Amino acid sequence: MELGAYERAKADRIAPAAGLSVVDVVALVPRLGPQQSAAAQPESTDDGGQAAAAVPAPGPVGALAPNLRRPEEQPAADDSGAASGKQPTAADERAQEVKAEAEAVTGVASPAVEEAAEQHDQEQTEPVPAPAAVSVAEHGRELPSIPAGERGDAWCVPTPNLASKRPNFTQQPRQMAFLDTDTGVLVHRDQVVRLDLGTASVSEILTAVYATVPDSVERIYITAGDPWHRDADRYPFLRDAVAAWLNAPVPGWQVESSRGKDRLAGHLVHPRNPVGRWQRGDQHIEIRSVGEWFDPADADPAVVRDAFVLLWKQLRHHWPDVTLMGSPSQTGRDLWSRTIPAKTGSKWSEGYPVMSEEIRGLLHATAGQGRTELIVPPRVPAKLPQLVEYDRTFAYAKHTWASGVGAPRRITAAAFAAMSAKEQTNALFAPSHWQIRVTVPDGWNHVGILPAPAAGDRAWYYPAEPGQTFTTWAGGAEVNLALRNPITPWRIEILDGLLWESGTPLRDWSAKLKDAWATLQALAANHGDQRQRTAAHLASRAVRSILLYGIGGFAQRPRITTRSVPAGHEHEIPAGAQIIGSDGETITWQRSAGFSRDPYAHPEWAAGVWSGARAALLSTKMREDNTFVGALHLPHDSIVAFRTDAIYTTHDATWPYRGQPGDYLKKGHLPGPVTGPRTEEELLSLQTLGRAHLDEEQEAGQ
């Protein structure tokens, strides 16, 4: 609190030092969060009211987006008990009928959309009126824009001679072993032994393991024990402890520098799931955490091995040449590459073009991932009557129906304004990414819909106060939802945008993974052996990770190089590097190496899936039940938090659950009164209690 009084204090600088998120810091010290500029603050009046809100400073000229709902139709009452009390209209229904998964979360243009657009043309729909607006500071982070004119247009030209093509080789499998460093139990194939690991340093692990298994084992998965955290109490951050563990001397071994064409050399310093890579002559070894694939909970190494076997068998039904690679991200990318059209003459058989480095950088900076938001009083009561957690099952699999392919078409404000209503509507339903100026409508009394940039790297918040105005980038699914949400349309001005042709590059890959997931889910529910049920459940979680992290892999973040030098050799640290840890003996640094010429880099696909998932977190339709679900269909003061695919609310909704991707599963219930969480740590504590209580309720009801 005292630090908050320091004029130069900033949330994005304090958060890493305190081991908190930016949102946590702002919740504790509101002054460090977004502040309205003095010019934008409403003036007090003598009668206790407020003067008219100040008009924001002039900015780039935008083109007003159309109201996607027919003006003469008012939303019907919602049977969920939500304060919004409104449903999407018949016009919305017509725009969604052709494709089930095109519902405002995939951005698919369809004949139904064109029909609705033609009606808009004929009816000359009035635009959303401009309410008085209050400008909101950008939290100290300004998002990039596309340059004007030919320079910006050149960004839309894909990278020359770089495309995603189907591979003409088969991945070579690598033998793996599974090790619990708490118990010393090692499993390799059918062999189960107990090792003496000493303090579980890298040197002790490699010595003990290779005294038992052949040198052909190239991958050791740690199933429990987290040896890289053994000395965590000696360091201010987990990352420092992990770096020290990875970089400790390993007699006879050296850090892997290269392996043929494999660019994944050297260590990955991650606080929870690090990867260590070493070599001894021609022998190579990786030590990895099985937590990359799934949380093994209390499963022993033999059950974890069985989970990998079941995973491989199920994937083999769809990919006869499947090879499980080191991480789910690598595996997901490899499996996807084997679904690229190969038939000569078929569309995209020559490969999917990779966006320019400028567009990739723009998407990296402006397309966030999951929504993480903690809502505190006075927007919610200090004492909650109860806390219920709803989590979307295998959510990202629901948003892979269509994606943008080919070179993007730039849509400037002038170009958008020159479009007919039909063309504008089709553009707003298509795979797209928009730079927009947004105004929260007067009378709005619910959670925010669109992300705005917050202080800190890739941090976002969601303005919800009536009259607030801000400039941001957002995916087509979210812009679409803001214009036709079940309460009232938001005012959106198009400043710039990227529009892609609609294609299905992820559909086949996703369908195969969903099938494998469903089969393993059924096996986990029905197998007669408890250990095999556990293994099947873990394998189904691994399939989820393959899709989840496979999509994240398409985002292709800038390469980060991590290295260490002995203390006293600071002069060897390259310019532009950031020191991330020091234990008195070694100094660990990292540096961004920019974007590589990665033939499988498609951030436009990852951005589209993430945008669709965030939109569905607010409103989506369960077609089998003709029911709308999501946060906007709950009472406005019942939403406590969002966490990626989960909603935490005080309202016990009766949403149907069929176990399908995208369905909302009631995952926790904590009876009240409950003191509302003020930090992420408090939310996670309540999450744990709520899940345990719901398990007890369900067991008592059986």
Write b or e for each residue in 390-399: b if 16 or more Cβ atoms lie within 10 A of its Cβ, otherwise e. bbbbbbbbbb
User: Which range has the top average pLDDT, 50-59, 496-505, 692-701?
Assistant: 496-505
| CB-based contacts of 141, cutoff 8 Å, min separation 6 | 12, 453, 454, 455, 456, 459
Confirm if 389 and 665 have CB atoms less than 8 A apart: no
Q: Report pLDDT for 569.
A: 77
- Stretch (H or E) spanning 210: helix 202-210
| CB-based contacts of 257, cutoff 8 Å, min separation 6 | 265, 266, 279
Q: Report pLDDT for 91.
A: 37
Q: Report pLDDT for 219.
A: 97
Q: What does the pLDDT average to over 269-287?
A: 93
Q: Is the confidence at residue 324, as pLDDT, over 70?
A: yes
Phi and psi angles of residue 226, each rounded to the nearest 5 degrees, phi first: 40, 65
Q: Is the confidence at residue 123, as pLDDT, over 50?
A: no
Q: Is the confidence at residue 571, as pLDDT, over 80?
A: no
260-274, 343-357, 398-412: which range is least confident on average? Answer: 260-274
| CB-based contacts of 589, cutoff 8 Å, min separation 6 | 562, 563, 564, 565, 573, 574, 577, 578, 579, 580
Q: Report pLDDT for 140.
A: 52
Q: Report pLDDT for 582.
A: 74
Residue 141, burial from CB neighbour count under 10 angstroms (0-12, 13-18, 19+):
middle
Q: How far apart are CA 84 and CA 445, in angstroms?
A: 8
Q: Report pLDDT for 680.
A: 93
Q: Tokens 């960004």 sit at which residue?
A: 155
Q: Give pLDDT tens digits for 640-658.
A: 999 999 999 999 999 999 9
Q: Report pLDDT for 19.
A: 53
Across-strand partners of 430? none
Across-strand partners of 563? 589
Cα dist from 641 to 281, 372, 563, whole Å = 52, 7, 38
- Percent with pLDDT over 70 in the chain: 78
Q: What does the pLDDT average to over 449-467?
A: 89
Q: Report pLDDT for 596.
A: 72
173 versus 38: the higher-pLDDT residue is: 173
- CA-derived radius of gyration, the chain: 26
Nearest by Cα to 23 from 464, 379, 375: 375
Across-strand partners of 461? 452
Residues in the chain: 702
Helix ranges (DSSP H) in 351-506:
357-366, 413-418, 421-429, 476-484
Q: Report pLDDT for 38.
A: 30
Q: What does the pLDDT average to over 318-328?
A: 95
Strand intervals (E) in 181-295? 185-188, 191-194, 217-224, 254-255, 275-280, 283-289
Nearest by Cα to 285 from 309, 308, 252, 315: 252
Supply the angle between the helices 328-337 and 507-526 in degrees, to the nearest 10. 130
Strands 254-255, 275-280: pairing is antiparallel
Q: How far apart are CA 428 and CA 492, in angstroms?
A: 12
Q: Is the confidence at residue 291, as pLDDT, over 80?
A: yes
Q: What does the pLDDT average to over 656-677?
A: 95
589 versus 13: the higher-pLDDT residue is: 589
Q: How far apart are CA 356 and CA 408, in angstroms?
A: 10
Confirm if 502 and 109 have CB atoms less than 8 A apart: yes
87 versus 217: the higher-pLDDT residue is: 217
56-60, 284-288, 331-335, 586-590: which range is least confident on average? Answer: 56-60
Q: How far apart are CA 68 and CA 125, in angstroms?
A: 9
Q: What does the pLDDT average to over 604-620?
A: 96
Q: Is the confidence at residue 215, as pLDDT, over 70?
A: yes
Q: Report pLDDT for 105.
A: 37
Q: Report pLDDT for 126.
A: 38
Confirm if 156 and 409 have CB atoms less than 8 A apart: yes
Helix ranges (DSSP H) in 338-442:
357-366, 413-418, 421-429
pLDDT band at 81; cut points 50, 70, 90: very low
Cα dist from 129 to 22, 125, 571, whole Å = 35, 12, 60
Nearest by Cα to 176 from 261, 262, 284, 272: 284
pLDDT band at 257; cut points 50, 70, 90: confident
pLDDT band at 120; cut points 50, 70, 90: very low
64-73, 461-470, 492-501, 687-696: which range is least confident on average? Answer: 64-73
Q: Is the confidence at residue 260, as pLDDT, over 90?
A: no
Across-strand partners of 644? 371
Across-strand partners of 494? 63, 436
Q: What does the pLDDT average to over 470-493?
A: 95
Q: Give pLDDT tens digits for 382-407.
A: 999 999 999 999 999 999 999 999 99
Q: Report pLDDT for 702.
A: 64
| CB-based contacts of 263, cutoff 8 Å, min separation 6 | 596
Average pLDDT, the chain: 83
Assigned token pair, 493: 């001005």
Strand intervals (E) in 401-519? 403-410, 432-439, 452-453, 460-461, 468-475, 491-503
Q: Is the confidence at residue 60, as pLDDT, over 80?
A: no
3 state SS of 501:
strand
640 versus 70: the higher-pLDDT residue is: 640
Nearest by Cα to 482 from 511, 444, 509: 444
| CB-based contacts of 160, cutoff 8 Å, min separation 6 | none
Assigned token pair, 54: 């100040």
pLDDT band at 125; cut points 50, 70, 90: very low
Cα dist from 338 to 171, 328, 507, whole Å = 11, 15, 13
Q: How far apart are CA 399 and CA 92, in angstroms?
A: 18
Q: Is the confidence at residue 75, as pLDDT, over 80?
A: no
56-60, 105-109, 305-309: which range is least confident on average? Answer: 105-109
Strand order from edge to edge, sheet including 586-592: 560-566, 586-592, 578-582
